[in-house]
């Protein structure tokens, strides 16, 4: 019976239908994957490698017309100079305190906000959730002039000078990080089955207990993903500190490197590259440790938990 | 005492009426099953009893107290969900003790209750496993365990077996019945599966379109359905509905199916049916087991007729035969050895003592 549908050739033997073989398809897909992955890896790794090479050269060798990819006289002088300068350590400290405070502030606000928006159905919650995302779409370049005005107003009315203080960044950065972190967490909380909070509700948990005892532990990968994102944004933020801080002691790392190592039209390339590499290290280390969680967080909800 | 009372309970979603004013009295220790097709309002009713949905009108009372505005945790109920809703980051012991911990129950008391419930459900050796290390049936037991340890006034089950495979479902069905016999807690159980409803319930509530069609013991619903919907919903294969006419000839009533086929109405129903002689839209309701192969001895009200069989479905212990009267497909249950064969004529026997006469325009069983 089953043979009836197979067409037979002249010899009577069944002919093999001309479909692509699955293993051959896979082999080709893999070749293309490797090709593009290697291409992208080279493309994206080129700048940091160039930075590393440049950071190991003397200023004389950098300005000499030699092969830029080759180091004739490797030296650690740039690292020694930079790390023995007090101001570089101040930038580093400012950046670290700002970033850690921003992460704590952002995660506290956005986890609670996301829980309310995702779970406690109240009038206007859907509109508010969209509103949160819309605020993320406003570029910071549009915001810093109104912020100047607001700072001036605060100084006038309350007599508090917000300009030129590194701690002002702790209030400023969350305007960028809270909307996005909230948005990630709304998505993550929404993927937790509704029955879970209903079960907690019946078990006698309050909303706050449902959040702390059920949602936060279950959504931990999402929280870690949002934390990494927030840290990266806070650590790498450039525009706000550039606009709002001027004194050397108040600068954060990205602005500090650029403003102190470029004197007029003299670029101290070796130290700039060294500073940039050292500055990129903390996010890199955090990613390396939390990578598994980060990926789990980004793909959560794809399968039934 | 934990009776549950529903009085004119209404649930409105925007302008859609999900539950249209139902009255129901559930007595203490009773096992009630709400059954009906999807969208009939059974789950909504259960969730209103749980306090997970606000009620739009009417009153719900648990143990004599109206609980309309009481939050779920203060209603002293426990609920088992369709997808179990176990806390994934807690082990079985923590899952079961979570509610008691929140209530600040002493540690040794929690321990005693969890171990006792685990023993009832035979999950003692699973207590330190995480939910993802458990099979579907084991998760179901843990979900029940979480309900039992709370020792609530009322158990609420929301389609708890529909995620399990067929074999496990039958096994867990028995398990639930056993547990109820042990703990004797008032139980409200929602399912769309009429077999589950029949096997578990003290009383079954058949719902349709946001209203209660009929409340009764499984046998009541099966043998004396009040409406066409209940008659068709309870029982598998479903009851046959054959368009018919009621005629009076020589002082006796007959149901006439077509020119060739008519049966005398059983004598004890004559008075009840006389008023409907000549009415349009009448249906003869006859369950498949009341259409059998012919047998040597006949009881009163059993009548033989010849029919050409369209389809034969052997089930092992019986064989289902399908044939057509008035364009309607009719199902009968015959002995596997009766020699039923497709496209062949067969002598069948209708047992009219179990007939139902239905007015199709009102949907009522007459």
Same domain, B254 and B206: no
Same domain, B213 and B257: no
| Residues of A whose CB is below 8 A from B52 | 198, 201-202
B85 with A193: Cβ contact below 8 A: yes
Q: Taking 70 as the threshold, does the pLDDT of residue B150 lie above it?
A: yes
- Strand B154-158, strand B186-191: pairing: parallel
The interface pTM score, or ipTM, of the predicted complex is 0.81
User: What is the domain count for chain B?
Assistant: 2
**B102 Cβ under 8 Å from any chain A Cβ:** yes
pLDDT tens digit sequence for B131-141: 888 888 889 88
A198 with B79: Cβ contact below 8 A: yes
pLDDT tens digit sequence for B24-81: 999 999 999 999 998 898 999 999 999 999 899 899 999 889 999 999 989 999 999 9
Task: Identify the weakest region by mean pLDDT among A17-26, A163-172, A233-242.
Answer: A17-26
Q: Taking 70 as the threshold, does the pLDDT of residue B147 lie above it?
A: yes
Same domain, B199 and B271: no
Percent of chain B exceeding pLDDT 90 equals: 47
Is B333 domain-assigned?
Answer: yes
**B344 Cβ under 8 Å from any chain A Cβ:** no
Question: Could you tell me the residue ranges of all domains in chain A?
Answer: 23-75, 81-298
Of B72, B86, B89, the CB nearest to A201: B72
Same domain, B175 and B254: no
**B154 Cβ under 8 Å from any chain A Cβ:** no
Same domain, B221 and B247: no
Task: Tell me how close the Cα of B100 comes to any Cα of chain A, in angstroms.
Answer: 8
**CATH classification of the domain holding B246:** 2.40.50.140
- Assign A9 a pLDDT band (cuts: 50, 70, 90): very low
Q: Are A226 and A233 in contact (CB under 8 A)?
A: no
Is B27 domain-assigned?
Answer: yes
Of A193, A196, A204, the CB nearest to B99: A204
| Residues of A whose CB is below 8 A from B78 | 202
B82 with A217: Cβ contact below 8 A: no
Q: Are B225 and B308 in contact (CB under 8 A)?
A: no
pLDDT tens digit sequence for A261-286: 888 787 888 888 898 888 888 888 88
Same domain, B246 and B347: yes
| Residues of B whose CB is below 8 A from A202 | 50-52, 72-73, 77-79, 99
Mean pLDDT of B351-365: 89
| Residues of A whose CB is below 8 A from B84 | 195
- Assign A294 a pLDDT band (cuts: 50, 70, 90): low
B146 with A203: Cβ contact below 8 A: yes
E strand or H helix at A266: strand A266-267
B358 closest CA partner among B221, B206, B228: B228
Which pLDDT score is estimated for A108?
A: 95
Q: Taking 60 as the threshold, does the pLDDT of residue B318 lie above it?
A: yes
Boundary-marking domain end, from B227, B248, B268: B227
Is B232 domain-assigned?
Answer: no
CATH number of A81-298: 1.10.3720.10
Task: Tell me how close the Cα of B90 comes to any Cα of chain A, in angstroms.
Answer: 9
Give the position of tokens 């057509």: B324
Higher local confidence (pLDDT), A265 or A166: A166
Q: Are A114 and A185 in contact (CB under 8 A)?
A: yes
Same domain, B217 and B136: yes
B126 closest CA partner among B139, B113, B111: B139
Same domain, B121 and B258: no
Q: Taking 90 as the threshold, does the pLDDT of residue A101 lie above it?
A: yes
Sign of CA dihedral B341, B345, B350, B355: positive
Which pLDDT score is estimated for B1?
A: 61
Mean pLDDT of B320-339: 90
Is B184 domain-assigned?
Answer: yes
Boundary-marking domain end, from B194, B227, B260: B227
Which pLDDT score is estimated for B229?
A: 93
Same domain, B221 and B321: no
| Interface residue of B88, B96, B160, B162 to substitute, partner A, most A CBs within 10 Å | B88
Boundary-marking domain end, from B227, B261, B294: B227
Q: Taking 90 as the threshold, does the pLDDT of residue B111 lie above it?
A: yes
Task: Identify the weakest region by mean pLDDT among A286-290, B308-312, B360-364.
Answer: A286-290
Which pLDDT score is estimated for B92?
A: 92
Is B235 domain-assigned?
Answer: no
Sign of CA dihedral A267, A271, A273, A279: negative
**CATH classification of the domain holding B121:** 3.40.50.300
Mean pLDDT of A196-213: 90
Q: Taking 80 as the threshold, does the pLDDT of residue B224 lie above it?
A: yes
A204 with B102: Cβ contact below 8 A: yes
Same domain, B196 and B244: no
- Assign A4 a pLDDT band (cuts: 50, 70, 90): very low
Of A199, A201, A218, the CB nearest to B89: A218
Q: Taking 90 as the threshold, does the pLDDT of residue A33 lie above it?
A: yes
**B87 Cβ under 8 Å from any chain A Cβ:** yes
Same domain, B222 and B279: no
Nearest CA in chain A to B70: A202
Interface list for B 51-80 with A (CB within 8 A): 51-52, 71-73, 77-79
Q: Taking 90 as the threshold, does the pLDDT of residue A59 lie above it?
A: no
pLDDT tens digit sequence for A174-198: 988 999 899 889 988 888 888 888 9
Which pLDDT score is estimated for A2?
A: 44
Note down the domain range covering B259: 240-365
**B334 Cβ under 8 Å from any chain A Cβ:** no
**B257 Cβ under 8 Å from any chain A Cβ:** no
Of B72, B84, B88, the CB nearest to A218: B88
Same domain, B191 and B248: no
């Amino acid at each position: 019976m089953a043979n009836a549908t197979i067409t037979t050739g002249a010899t009577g033997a069944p002919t093999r239908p001309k479909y692509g073989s699955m293993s051959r398809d896979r082999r080709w897909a893999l070749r293309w994957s490797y090709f593009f992955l290697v291409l992208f890896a080279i493309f994206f790794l080129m700048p940091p490698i160039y930075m590393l090479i440049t950071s190991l050269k003397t200023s004389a060798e950098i300005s000499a017309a030699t092969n830029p990819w080759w180091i004739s006289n490797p030296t650690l002088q740039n690292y020694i100079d930079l790390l023995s300068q007090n101001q570089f350590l101040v930038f580093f400290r400012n950046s670290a305190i700002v970033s850690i405070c921003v992460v704590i502030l952002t995660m506290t606000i956005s986890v609670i906000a996301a829980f309310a928006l995702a779970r406690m159905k109240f009038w206007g919650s859907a509109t508010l959730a969209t509103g949160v995302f819309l605020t993320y779409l406003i570029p910071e370049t549009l915001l810093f002039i109104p912020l100047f005005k607001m700072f001036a107003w605060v100084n006038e009315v309350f007599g508090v000078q917000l300009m030129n203080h590194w701690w002002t960044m702790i209030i400023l950065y969350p305007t960028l990080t809270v909307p996005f972190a909230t948005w990630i967490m709304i998505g993550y909380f929404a993927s937790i089955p509704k029955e879970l909070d209903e079960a907690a509700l019946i078990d006698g948990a309050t909303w706050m207990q449902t959040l702390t005892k059920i949602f936060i532990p279950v959504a931990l990968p999402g929280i870690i993903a949002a934390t990494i994102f927030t840290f990266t944004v806070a650590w790498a933020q450039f525009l706000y500190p550039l606009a709002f801080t001027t004194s050397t002691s108040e600068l954060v790392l990205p602005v500090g490197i650029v403003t102190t190592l470029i004197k007029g039209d003299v670029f101290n390339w070796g130290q700039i590259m060294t500073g940039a590499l050292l500055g990129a290290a903390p996010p890199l280390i955090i990613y390396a440790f939390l990578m598994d969680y980060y990926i789990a967080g980004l793909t959560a909800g794809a399968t039934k938990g | 005492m934990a009776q549950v009372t529903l009085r004119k309970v209404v649930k409105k979603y925007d302008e859609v009426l999900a539950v249209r004013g139902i009255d129901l009295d559930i007595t203490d220790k009773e096992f009630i099953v709400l059954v009906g097709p999807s969208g009939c309002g059974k789950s909504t009713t259960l969730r209103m009893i749980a306090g997970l949905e606000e009620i739009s009108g009417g009153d719900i009372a648990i143990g004599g107290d109206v609980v309309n505005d009481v939050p779920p945790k203060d209603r002293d109920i426990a609920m088992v969900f369709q997808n179990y809703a176990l806390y994934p980051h807690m082990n079985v012991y923590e899952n079961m003790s979570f509610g008691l911990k929140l209530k600040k129950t002493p540690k040794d008391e929690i321990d005693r209750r969890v171990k006792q419930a685990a023993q009832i459900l035979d999950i003692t050796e699973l207590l330190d496993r995480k939910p993802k290390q458990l099979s579907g049936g084991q998760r179901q037991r843990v979900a029940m365990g979480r309900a039992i340890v709370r020792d609530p006034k009322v158990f609420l089950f929301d389609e708890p077996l529909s995620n399990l495979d067929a074999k496990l479902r039958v096994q867990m069905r028995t398990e639930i019945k056993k547990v109820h016999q042990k703990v004797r807690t008032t139980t409200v159980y929602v399912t769309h599966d009429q077999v589950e409803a029949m096997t578990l319930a003290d009383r079954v509530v058949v719902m349709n379109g946001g209203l209660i069609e009929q409340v009764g013991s499984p046998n009541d619903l099966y043998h004396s359905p009040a409406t066409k919907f209940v008659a068709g919903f309870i029982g598998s294969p479903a009851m046959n509905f054959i368009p018919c006419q009621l005629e009076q000839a020589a002082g006796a009533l007959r149901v006439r199916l077509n020119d060739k086929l008519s049966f005398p109405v059983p004598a004890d129903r004559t008075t009840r049916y006389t008023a409907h002689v000549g009415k349009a839209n009448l249906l003869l309701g006859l369950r498949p087991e009341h259409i059998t192969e012919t047998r040597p001895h006949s009881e009163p009200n059993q009548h033989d007729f010849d029919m050409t069989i369209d389809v034969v479905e052997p089930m092992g212990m019986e064989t289902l035969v399908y044939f057509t009267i008035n364009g309607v497909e009719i199902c009968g249950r015959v002995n596997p050895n009766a020699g039923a064969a497709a496209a062949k004529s067969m002598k069948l026997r209708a047992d009219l003592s179990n007939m139902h006469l239905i007015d199709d325009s009102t949907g009522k069983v007459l």
